């Protein structure tokens, strides 16, 4: 049923899915560029279409009333953006306690312009020892999908260069809201 819903939404909007689900049991998926609420609609449709068993983070204010129940049923995890001190540890522990798990998030953390991505995704994947799946929205081509799976090396500069290269030709709906693909601490090496 979810597959058909995803296919219908994408078809009606004239979008196509590019890429395939990651072929690994555990992964952290990032989706970018994130410049509009429509990313949620097309991203969820792609998750359903690709039959991804994926949990994803969204701001806790979305998880109220009946909508909250539906979002949780569809894999949503409410994230309290005011209290993020344990998010990395929470995710690392979730990966350690399961045989298979996919978790998705938007590394920009907002739909507005920002000078850098939030680095939590990098630390989550690196500390959990899971690969990073790179998902994308491209409003110019009307494509959404998963493009590649990257095993992080711990060399933040080299890893981010690969991520930057992947996202270089992807265009958000509002390109002026898409900031540079970089982390605040990129100049240091994560060990």
Q: How far from the centroid of its chain's Cα atoms is residue 88's Cα?
A: 15
Q: Are residues 134 and 97 in contact, defined by beta-carbon separation less than 8 angstroms?
A: no
CA dist 43 to 35, 85, 111, 155, Å? 12, 26, 14, 29
Confirm whether 122 is domain-assigned: yes
How many domains are there within the chain? 1
Do the domain assignments include residue 188?
no
Identify whether 94 is part of a domain: yes
User: pTM, whole model, 2 decimals?
Assistant: 0.84
CA 29/CA 31 separation, integer angstroms:
7
Q: Does a structural domain hold residue 57?
A: yes
Q: How many CA atoms lie within 13 A of 176 on its CB side?
A: 0
pLDDT at 187: 46
Structural domain boundaries, residue 32:
2-177
Q: What is the pLDDT of residue 117?
A: 82
What pLDDT is attached to residue 82? 67
Q: What is the pLDDT of residue 39?
A: 87
Which residues on neighbouring strands pair with residue 42, listed in sequence order?
Answer: none
- pLDDT of 185 reads 75
Here the CATH number for the domain that contains residue 52 is 3.40.50
The alpha carbon dihedral of 120, 157, 178, 184 has a sign of positive
pLDDT tens for the 191 residues of the chain, in order? 889 999 999 999 999 999 889 999 999 999 988 888 888 899 989 999 999 888 877 778 888 899 899 888 888 888 776 665 678 888 898 899 989 999 988 888 667 777 778 888 999 999 999 999 999 999 999 999 999 999 999 999 999 899 999 999 999 888 878 777 777 776 444 44
Residue 117 located in a structural domain: yes
- Residue 173, CB-side half-sphere exposure with 13 Å CA sphere: 12
Residue 56 has what pLDDT?
79
Spatial contact of 157 and 188, defined as CB atoms under 8 Å apart: no
Residue 47 lies in a domain: yes
Is residue 187 in some structural domain?
no
Residue 190 domain flag = no
CA distances from 149 to 6, 78, 155 (A): 22, 25, 16
Residues 6+ apart with CB under 8 A from 73: none
pLDDT at residue 191 in the model: 46
DSSP result, 24-61: SSEEEEEEE---STHHHHHHHHHHHHTT---EEEEEGG
For residue 90, cis peptide bond before it (omega within 30 degrees of 0): no
Q: Residue 168 corresponds to which tokens in the numbers above?
A: 């270089």
């Amino acid at each position: 049923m979810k597959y058909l819903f995803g296919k219908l939404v994408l078809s009606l909007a004239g979008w196509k899915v590019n890429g395939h689900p990651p072929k690994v049991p555990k992964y952290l998926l990032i989706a970018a560029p994130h410049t509009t609420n429509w990313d949620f609609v097309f991203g969820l449709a792609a998750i359903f279409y690709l039959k991804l068993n994926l949990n994803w983070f969204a701001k806790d204010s979305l998880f109220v009333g009946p909508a909250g129940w539906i979002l949780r049923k569809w894999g949503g995890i409410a994230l309290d953006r005011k209290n993020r001190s344990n998010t990395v540890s929470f995710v690392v522990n979730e990966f350690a306690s399961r045989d298979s798990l996919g978790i998705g998030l938007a590394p920009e953390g907002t739909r507005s312009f920002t000078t850098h991505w939030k680095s939590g995704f990098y630390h989550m994947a690196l500390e959990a020892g899971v690969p990073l799946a790179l998902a994308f929205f491209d409003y110019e081509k009307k494509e959404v999908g998963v493009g590649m799976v990257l095993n992080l090396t711990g060399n933040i500069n080299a890893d981010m260069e690969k991520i930057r290269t992947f996202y270089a030709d992807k265009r958000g709906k509002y390109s002026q809201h898409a900031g540079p693909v970089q982390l605040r601490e990129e100049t240091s090496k994560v060990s």
